[in-house]
Amino acid sequence: HQQQIKHAGLPAVTRDNVPVAIAANIGSALEAPGAFANGAQGVGLFRTEMLYMDRDAAPDEQEQFEAYQQVLLSAEGKPVIFRTMDIGGDKQIPWLNIPQEENPFLGYRAVRIYPEFVELFRTQLRAILRAGASGNALLMIPMVHSLDQILWVKQELRNVQEALKAQGLRHTSHLPLGIMVEVPSVCFIIDHFCDEVDFFSIGSNDMTQYLYAVDRNNPRVSPLYNPITPSFLRMVRQIVTAAHRHGKWVGICGELAGECRYLPLLLGLGIDEFSMSGPRIPPVKTQLRQLESLACQALADNACECRSAEEIEELLTEFTPQEP
Which parts of this chain interact with ligand PEP (CB under 6 A)? 45, 47, 86, 182, 203-206, 253-254
Q: Which of 15, 6, 9, 45 is nearest to 28 (CA)?
A: 45
| Minimum distance of ligand PEP from residue 258's CB (angstroms) | 11
> Smaller CB distance to ligand PEP: residue 142 or 268?
142
* H-run or E-run covering 273: strand 273-277
- Which entry of ligand PEP, Mg ion, none binds 263, CB below 5 to 8 A by partner kind? none
Contact at 8 Å (CB) between 179 and 150?
Answer: yes
Contact at 8 Å (CB) between 290 and 17?
Answer: no
- Provide DSSP, 236-265: HHHHHHHHHHTT-EEEE-SGGGG-GGGHHH
* Burial of 102: CB neighbours in 10 Å, binned 0-12, 13-18, 19+: exposed
Q: Which of 287, 238, 232 is nearest to 258 (CA)?
A: 287
Q: Report the greatest alpha carbon distance in the chain.
A: 61
Amino acid at 40: A
* H-run or E-run covering 179: strand 177-181
Q: How many CB atoms lie within 10 A of CB 66?
A: 13
- Which entry of ligand PEP, Mg ion, none binds 126, CB below 5 to 8 A by partner kind? none
> Smaller CB distance to ligand PEP: residue 182 or 259?
182
- Which entry of ligand PEP, Mg ion, none binds 253, CB below 5 to 8 A by partner kind? ligand PEP
- Which entry of Mg ion, ligand PEP, none binds 285, CB below 5 to 8 A by partner kind? none
> Smaller CB distance to ligand PEP: residue 45 or 186?
45
> Smaller CB distance to ligand PEP: residue 82 or 319?
82
Contact at 8 Å (CB) between 61 and 80?
Answer: no
| Minimum distance of ligand PEP from residue 145's CB (angstroms) | 13
> Smaller CB distance to ligand PEP: residue 132 or 254?
254
> Smaller CB distance to Mg ion: residue 110 or 291?
110
| Minimum distance of ligand PEP from residue 53's CB (angstroms) | 12
- Which entry of Mg ion, ligand PEP, none binds 79, CB below 5 to 8 A by partner kind? none
| Minimum distance of ligand PEP from residue 216's CB (angstroms) | 8
> Smaller CB distance to ligand PEP: residue 78 or 91?
91
Helices (H), 105-229: 118-131, 147-167, 190-194, 204-212
User: Which residues contact Mg ion by CB under 5 A?
Assistant: 182, 203, 206
Contact at 8 Å (CB) between 217 and 90?
Answer: yes
- Which entry of Mg ion, ligand PEP, none binds 254, CB below 5 to 8 A by partner kind? ligand PEP
- Which entry of Mg ion, ligand PEP, none binds 272, CB below 5 to 8 A by partner kind? none
| Minimum distance of Mg ion from residue 164's CB (angstroms) | 29
| Minimum distance of Mg ion from residue 318's CB (angstroms) | 32
| Minimum distance of ligand PEP from residue 122's CB (angstroms) | 22
